[in-house]
Amino acid sequence: MKKNWILSQESFDALLDWLDQDREQAGHKYEEIRQRLITIFTCRKCHEADLLADETINRVTSRLSDIRSEFSGEPARYFYAVANKVYLEYQRTKPPQPPPLSAADSKVVETEYACLEECLGKLSDELRELVLEYYKNEGLAKIEHRRQLSEKLQIGPNALRIRAFRIRASLLECVKRCVERSEV
């Protein structure tokens, strides 16, 4: 991403003038465009949507002298076209890799896993099977599996979801208590 250009007050004023001659309307248009850009980036699962929206606005503003003479039409469309380019650049950059687990972290994970197994063992066979089956697959297979599970149990999908949620909540509490006991 470009980081060498800084938005000045004169550039911002020029941007507002390009958006609308009426300063108040220009401010409203600016806010609408910025919110729409944030929404676009958020829907594309960008973790820094607001920064990408600002980067898009900065790029448009930095080229405003060229844009005024070449572009005709609604200014918002130009912002959205630039946003697509910014998004493609964002996609090319690799997200930072998480640091490897330290020995202390791996001990915590082992403790939590042991506690989860202990808490699963305390559940009745029926509840244990239900929760394990509920969280079994991923993607489309998960959806189909849950539909089949609700048919097998002769309950609606919502009732199944609620049961799984309640079992998971009780497991979470059990694991927390178990981990706290292990730390002492």
pLDDT reported for residue 82: 94
Domain ranges across the chain: 9-92, 103-183
pLDDT in tens, 70-104: 888 889 999 999 999 999 998 888 666 666 656 66
Asked if the 103-183 domain carries CATH number 3.40.390, the reply is no
Q: Which stretch of DSSP H or E encloses residue 83?
A: helix 75-92
pLDDT reported for residue 143: 86
Q: Is the dihedral of CA 114, 115, 120, 123 positive or negative?
A: positive
pLDDT reported for residue 1: 47
The answer to whether the pTM exceeds 0.75 is no
pLDDT in tens, 1-19: 455 667 788 888 888 999 9
Average pLDDT, the chain: 87
